[in-house]
Homo-oligomer: A and B are copies of this chain.
Amino acid sequence: MNAETIPHWLEKRVELTPERVAIHTQENSITFRELRKQSMCMVGKLASLGVKKGSHVAIYANNSLDFVRFVHAISYIGAVAVFLNTRLTQKEIRFQLEDAKCELVIYEQNLSPIIEPLGQEMPIRVHSFKDVSKQLEAPFKAQQEVRLDDIYTILYTSGTTGNPKGVMLTYGNHWWSAVSSALNLGLSEEDQWLATLPLFHVGGLSLLFKNVIYGMPITLLTSFDEQEIHKAIMEKGVTIVSVVSVMLKRLLSQLDAGETYPTSFRCMLLGGGPAPKPLLEEAASKHVPVIQTYGMTETSSQIVTLSAQDALRKIGSAGKPLFPAQLNIINDQQNTKDQSIGEIVVKGPMVTSGYYKRPETNEYTIKDEWLYTGDLGYVDDEGFLYVVDRRKDLIISGGENIYPAEIEEVLAGLDSIKEVGVIGQEDDRWGEVPVAFVVFHEGVSLSTEEILSYCARSLAKYKIPKMIYFEDHLPRNASNKLLRRDLAKWLKQRGEME
């Protein structure tokens, strides 16, 4: 059997339910027929800019209808979409554009100060949505089918070492992700999913595919606004919202004493990192149906999810692997059977086939179709996963992943700094924030301000350490490896002293 070929998703959706509302925005609502028309219009304009089957085209924008049209236009053309986090610095963006071999960047007008200079310096063309809209449409024979094996998207994710890597996801990965979620959560004609997560992350992006595959309206918000979301739940028929912990916390604070969500609201899908148990208990006490999930870019969003029926009984668990997915806990290269803690490895048709141009990383990350996540966890006697530690040293701040290694590399670029170690510090608002411990070379030093302003040139704002601690040495083991766990102890001691 060849790879499956199925109808183009938006095209098929229009065939089935053309007049159903596809997307509600704050301003208006558009049907699937209108969304198709607008996306096809963008196809013609992108074609006139030279985009063709196989082109790598980056999008650099916040949530908007233009973003949605772009995602569908790319699939009509058979190009590959590369998603840029709008919070990155110019330097970080330059790296990803080069690494992903992008020919073109489509961007949102107000991000031009960062992207336009890159268009000057790099062999890449940059066009704002406004530029694009002014193009004449070139004739283009839009794809009527998609091959599940074809790469559709590349999303960058950082790792424990080195530079961010582009996760390649196929149509099949996204398809199976959408279907697997429906098999777990069910599918109702009344469903309406609120998209407030950034579309440039897989959690947000995946809603665009559920939108067309399920024929389910989504409400698209440009950014997280707890009052807006609260209103959408209470008054506008939203039945499912994807959130990360910090969002959930802020949403719960919107509920007045005794107030509950409408019964039609059926799921607060909580992903993007560990959730503090008190938060989950607060949600339960307010009758908010939170369903925890575990997933990552490499798994096209959720791959392990708590079902609604277990949500209350198994607070703190990420649930069980979705129907087509499998989970193992590996300890000393063995599959543990005794509820002991080990590395979480997962397998399934929603799992990436690998990182773009990273054969070596792929070799040790994906073995026999099993993805080694680097996260630690255990499975209880009923088969429920508990994630005890995210990817080694990963800091999750407001749903964004931050790898200490990336910040350490930047800081190590300062001549005065001899040693540096970065860890996460608990934070009421963001869950965690990065903090840095630095040791200077003898006789030199820098102020916190000097260090931070240096960081700001290379690191997205959320990655900049919120505190710099000056030390005369860092904890290391016999092989001279930095012991971040000991740094965490130092941090705790400082907290207790204060």
> Which residues of A are in contact with B by a Cβ distance under 8 Å?
1, 3-7, 12, 15-17, 145, 149, 170, 172, 176, 179, 182-183, 186-189, 213-214, 307-309, 320, 323-326, 348-349, 353, 369, 383
Residue of B nearest to A319 (CB): B16
Given A16-B307, A170-B1, A326 contacting B183 (CB threshold 8 A)? no
Least Cβ distance of A224 to chain B in Å?
A: 29
With a cutoff of 8 Å between Cβ atoms, the chain B residues found around residue A12 in the complex are 323
A189 engages B308 (CB within 8 Å) = yes
Given A1-B353, A326-B7, A353-B1, A15 contacting B186 (CB threshold 8 A)? no
Given A170-B1, A182-B182, A349-B4, A320 contacting B189 (CB threshold 8 A)? no
Q: A1-B170, A179-B179, A179-B183 are in contact. List 19 more A-B contacts (CB 8 A).
A: A1-B172, A1-B353, A4-B324, A4-B349, A5-B369, A6-B324, A6-B348, A7-B323, A15-B383, A16-B320, A17-B309, A182-B182, A182-B183, A183-B213, A183-B214, A186-B186, A187-B187, A189-B308, A213-B323
Given A213-B323, A349-B6, A186 contacting B183 (CB threshold 8 A)? no
B320 engages A149 (CB within 8 Å) = no
With a cutoff of 8 Å between Cβ atoms, the chain B residues found around residue A15 in the complex are 320, 383
With a cutoff of 8 Å between Cβ atoms, the chain B residues found around residue A307 in the complex are 16-17
With a cutoff of 8 Å between Cβ atoms, the chain B residues found around residue A323 in the complex are 6-7, 12, 16, 213
B3 engages A1 (CB within 8 Å) = yes
**Which of A145, A183, A325 has its CB near the most chain B CB atoms (within 10 A)?**
A183
Q: In whole angstroms, what is the CA distance A182 to B369 when docked?
A: 28
Subset of 17 A-B contacts with CB under 8 Å: A1-B3, A1-B172, A1-B353, A4-B349, A6-B323, A6-B349, A7-B323, A7-B324, A7-B325, A15-B383, A16-B307, A182-B182, A182-B183, A183-B213, A183-B214, A186-B187, A186-B189
Q: In whole angstroms, what is the CA distance A440 to B348 when docked?
A: 65
Residue of B nearest to A20 (CB): B309
Q: In whole angstroms, what is the CA distance A353 to B307 when docked?
A: 35
Least Cβ distance of A492 to chain B in Å?
A: 39
Q: In whole angstroms, what is the CA distance A3 to B148 when docked?
A: 11
With a cutoff of 8 Å between Cβ atoms, the chain B residues found around residue A187 in the complex are 182-183, 186-188
Residue of B nearest to A3 (CB): B1
The 9 A-B residue pairs with the shortest CB-CB distance, nearest first, are A6-B324, A187-B187, A4-B349, A186-B187, A1-B149, A179-B179, A186-B188, A15-B383, A16-B320
Least Cβ distance of A68 to chain B in Å?
A: 19
With a cutoff of 8 Å between Cβ atoms, the chain B residues found around residue A1 in the complex are 3, 149, 170, 172, 353
Q: In whole angstroms, what is the CA distance A6 to B347 when docked?
A: 9
With a cutoff of 8 Å between Cβ atoms, the chain B residues found around residue A214 in the complex are 183
With a cutoff of 8 Å between Cβ atoms, the chain B residues found around residue A326 in the complex are 7, 145
Least Cβ distance of A13 to chain B in Å?
A: 8
With a cutoff of 8 Å between Cβ atoms, the chain B residues found around residue A183 in the complex are 179, 182, 187, 213-214
Given A6-B324, A182-B182, A326-B7, A188 contacting B188 (CB threshold 8 A)? yes
Q: In whole angstroms, what is the CA distance A4 to B187 when docked?
A: 24
Residue of B nearest to A7 (CB): B326
Least Cβ distance of A212 to chain B in Å?
A: 9
With a cutoff of 8 Å between Cβ atoms, the chain B residues found around residue A179 in the complex are 179, 183
Q: In whole angstroms, what is the CA distance A3 to B353 when docked?
A: 13
Q: In whole angstroms, what is the CA distance A149 to B3 when docked?
A: 10
Residue of B nearest to A170 (CB): B1
Least Cβ distance of A358 to chain B in Å?
A: 18
Residue of B nearest to A308 (CB): B189
Q: In whole angstroms, what is the CA distance A7 to B326 when docked?
A: 7
Least Cβ distance of A381 to chain B in Å?
A: 12
Residue of B nearest to A191 (CB): B186
With a cutoff of 8 Å between Cβ atoms, the chain B residues found around residue A369 in the complex are 5
With a cutoff of 8 Å between Cβ atoms, the chain B residues found around residue A324 in the complex are 4, 6-7
Q: In whole angstroms, what is the CA distance A283 to B304 when docked?
A: 43
With a cutoff of 8 Å between Cβ atoms, the chain B residues found around residue A325 in the complex are 7
Least Cβ distance of A294 to chain B in Å?
A: 15
Residue of B nearest to A14 (CB): B383
With a cutoff of 8 Å between Cβ atoms, the chain B residues found around residue A149 in the complex are 1
Q: In whole angstroms, what is the CA distance A5 to B179 when docked?
A: 15
Q: In whole angstroms, what is the CA distance A272 to B318 when docked?
A: 43
Q: In whole angstroms, what is the CA distance A186 to B182 when docked?
A: 9
Q: In whole angstroms, what is the CA distance A183 to B170 when docked?
A: 20
Residue of B nearest to A353 (CB): B1
Q: In whole angstroms, what is the CA distance A383 to B308 when docked?
A: 37
Residue of B nearest to A4 (CB): B349
Q: In whole angstroms, what is the CA distance A325 to B5 when docked?
A: 9
